[in-house]
């Protein structure tokens, strides 16, 4: 009898530990336009564009490098309110650039505190000050570090933008190709 009770108790616990929920062990990679689920939040990155300033005339704000504006939507598929975490872009060498906290005036800026109710959709833009290069948007669930997704952001500069600074070999001072 005790052995039978032990089997009844052990089986569900072993199954729960083996399944470990449905979180991925490795980060998942997506292309822009694909739905990326991280926990109960489902993201869709729609556009990424580079700008040399935000605003016009005397009100224009200039970046240290260039502004990268990433437009996305997020849907809460969970049963309770969720906050959309701060986002980062990550370069090929692993350097992470956090989104800017004060970019009022940027087209469609979504703000920093982003609360999404169940089944609600939130759309807007986040802004980064980063060197122009190819990045991936890192989307991570702060309470579940195993829930991470990356969305590839192609490098497309705005028309009429100043050229990128040339990169030279430090030894020969020749342009790299």
Q: Which 3-state string (H, E, C) describes the chain?
A: CHHHHHHHHHHHHHHHHHHCCCCCCCCEEEECCCEEEECCEEEEEEEEEEECCECCHHHCECCCCEEEEEEEEEEECCCCCEECCCCEEECCCCCEEECCCCCCCCCCECCCCCEECCCCEEEEEEEEEECCCCEEEEEEECCEEEEEEEEEECCCCCCCCCCCCCCECCCCCCECC
Residue 28 lies in a domain: yes
What's the pLDDT tens digit per position in 140-149? Answer: 987 776 789 9
More confident residue, 105 or 70: 70
Tens digits of residue pLDDT in 11-43: 444 444 444 445 555 889 999 999 999 999 999
**Is position 163 within any domain?**
no
* Residue at 162 is within a domain: no
Q: What is the pLDDT of residue 142?
A: 74
Residue 91 forms part of a structural domain: yes
Q: Is the pLDDT of residue 50 over 50?
A: yes
Structural domain for 27, as ranges: 21-153
CATH of the domain at 101: 2.60.40.1240
72 within some domain: yes
Q: Give a yes or no: residue 143 inside a domain.
A: yes
Q: How many folded domains does the chain comprise? A: 1
* Residue 30 domain-assigned (yes or no): yes
Given a cut of 80, is residue 1 above it in pLDDT? no
Q: Is residue 5, in this structure, part of any structural domain at all?
A: no
């Amino acid at each position: 009898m005790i052995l039978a009770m032990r089997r009844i108790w052990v089986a569900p616990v072993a199954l729960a530990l083996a399944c470990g929920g449905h979180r991925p062990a490795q980060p998942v990679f997506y292309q822009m336009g694909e739905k990326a689920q991280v926990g109960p939040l489902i993201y869709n990155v729609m556009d990424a564009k580079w700008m040399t300033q935000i605003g016009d005339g005397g009100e224009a704000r200039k970046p240290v490098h260039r502004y990268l504006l990433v437009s996305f939507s997020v849907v809460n598929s969970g049963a309770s309110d969720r906050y959309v975490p701060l986002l980062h872009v990550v370069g090929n060498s692993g350097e992470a650039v956090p989104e800017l906290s004060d970019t009022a005036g940027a087209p469609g800026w979504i703000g920093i505190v982003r609360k999404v109710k169940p089944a609600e959709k939130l759309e807007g833009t986040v802004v980064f000050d980063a060197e122009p290069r190819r990045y991936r948007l890192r989307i991570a669930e702060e309470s579940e570090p195993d829930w991470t997704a990356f969305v590839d952001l192609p490098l497309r500069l705005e028309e009429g933008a100043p050229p990128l600074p040339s990169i030279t070999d430090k030894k020969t001072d020749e342009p790299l190709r």
